Structure 1
Amino acid sequence: MVSAFDHGGGVRSVRVPIPDNPLGHTLVYVVDTDRGPVLVDTGWDDPGSWDALRAGLAACGTAVGEVYGVVITHHHPDHHGLSARVREASGAWVALHAADAAIVRRTRETRPERWFSYMAAKLTAAGAPEAHVAPLRTPRARTLPGLSPALPDREIVPGELLDLPGRRLRAVWTPGHTPGHVCLHLEEEHPARLPGHGRLFSGDHLLPGITPHIGLYEDPDDATVTDPLGDYLDSLERIGRLSPAEVLPAHQHAFADAPGRVRALLDHHESRLAGLLALLAEPLTPWQLAERMEWNRPWTDIPYGSRNIAVSEAESHLRRLVKLGRAEPVPGSDPVTYTAV
């Protein structure tokens, strides 16, 4: 069954499946312009996903070969995965924020062994047990998607209008989920005249029922201490002030009341930080903190790769608490433990 939906005002969405993933699909938006359709994201690089995108575009009355441009909200493979195939089939330009373009470039250029040794060192420093780290010391060939993603040929510049002839689509930089994540503000009256300011393609930044992953920005060659959770919270408040009439996210469904959703997410993270402070009444490594945090299933049921993501999220919250002066590392601890102040 073809999954295409008309949101009105020359905007449609196509459901592109994500194989073996509880999210189910990515919503790829098709925006009519005077030069042909422009896609917001492309979906996962998989033969079934490609077929779904092509069928969805046909249901929208167009085809991959007619695509004029591709605007990518962020570099993750369920958003950027099919960009190269779309460009190859259509000659479309592909635009991405410079910070995520740098990640794409690094991913393409870094040898697998460098990534494995870097991740092993990171997890060891976070207090991961040797049994968890050991598989990274005997790396296998990389077969994951997104490891040779398309190099963009255009840069998304925050605050500027994108090249959508006949439309007004402005880039809003919203770092947090990734360093170069952008939301895209369609500065046009809502087709149903809902109150608010246009429509917002929110990528993974603002979702109706999911809290996006906020982990560390991994770069083997950059020792800068980032604060991705702080970036995310600041970005949320900026989107809340924008007050779009409707949000068109990359997963789940469209929704109104962006300021209300922003408040709920700000409250969620404040509550989570308070919960982590309570856990840090005793010194804990990031791994031990992740083991004790609340996830959508018990720690024992979380698979290997997802534990790495959970530890990264624990570390991002720890960095926020340290920056706020509410937690600190214990001097001389190895691996380093943290405690509430």
Structure 2
Amino acid sequence: MRGSTLRILVVGAGIAGLAVARALRMVGFRPDVTEKLPAAELVDTGLYLPGNAARALRRLDLHDPVRPLGRIIHRQRFFDAAGAPLCEVDLDALWAGVGECRALPRAELHRVLLTGAGGAVRHGAEVSAVELLPTSVGVTFADGTAAEYDLVIGADGPRSTVRSLAALGGPPRPAGQVMYRGIVRGGPQVTEWTALLGQRSGFLVVPLGAGRLYCYADEAGTVAPADPLARLRELFGSYGGPVPGVLEALERVHVSATDEVELGRWSRGRVLLVGDAAHATAPTLSQGAAMALEDAVVLAEALKAAGSVEAALVAYESRRRPRTRWVRDRTRDRNRTRDVPPALRDPLLRGRGGRIFGEHYRLLVDPL
């Protein structure tokens, strides 16, 4: 399809929305990008990008601006709650020929994507109505303005407004975890991705470079505590390894319940969902950003190659379904290990854990 004549709206200016806007611009489209939230500094958290995310960033021609950011991660190391080794995964071997694994502040990746998407986002623009027309989509915003588009892309996260307005699905369902995220400065020295596994809970520390550590912790549950920092210290105060030093240095933590989105279809008429709006999972495999970046690459290719919007959406979903289904199923597999008592789980991980955890990414090593 001819890019410049297609009117496209991308709803959501997070990683998924900006990646889609970038990919579309690369093949000749000029999408509008809206975000219901005002322009503001992002939450100060980190992000771990596996090798398939690096591959997608190369396809988006954004590898060079990302390369100086954060820190390359070579190994994943797993320990029990006391800090005794369980297993490790050689990430350089796992993702050989695909891309390096990198940890960086989320805000830094967001800035790269924003620049790559052209920098123009209409903030404070909340979609209030979507009308599916025979060959277009009517969109009304909360401020009363309206416009008509040839394609509307909902990249507005697991609690997607577009999904609800287009009758593609209801609210997400709880994934059964409460997660805590924060960045520590001046904490203990940690050189690799380091996870301590307890009983239905875990604590992850990842170096971001420049003396910063990203910490992620979770526990079984669906309700965020009123005082997340106190809860973190209660849950993990007895853990070993770097955890005591991280807890001592941690000043602020962001807490939320994890969501899962599983839909029978991702599009209706000329409305399409991408990223977490279509296929959110718990962050156990660190694939949320990677899947969003892959979505962007494949959608742009499908729109460029197809003779119609409808054909492009069919082609896009048929390519993306197997990989997002794999991530969902492997995420559930790994999460089920939380319910296994450490006395049974830990001997298994000491013998086969590296192979088991590496296998969870097998399909994702394959080309898009």
Q: Which is richer in strand?
A: 2
Q: Same fold (TM over 0.5)?
A: no
Higher relative contact order (CA 8 A, sep 6+): 2
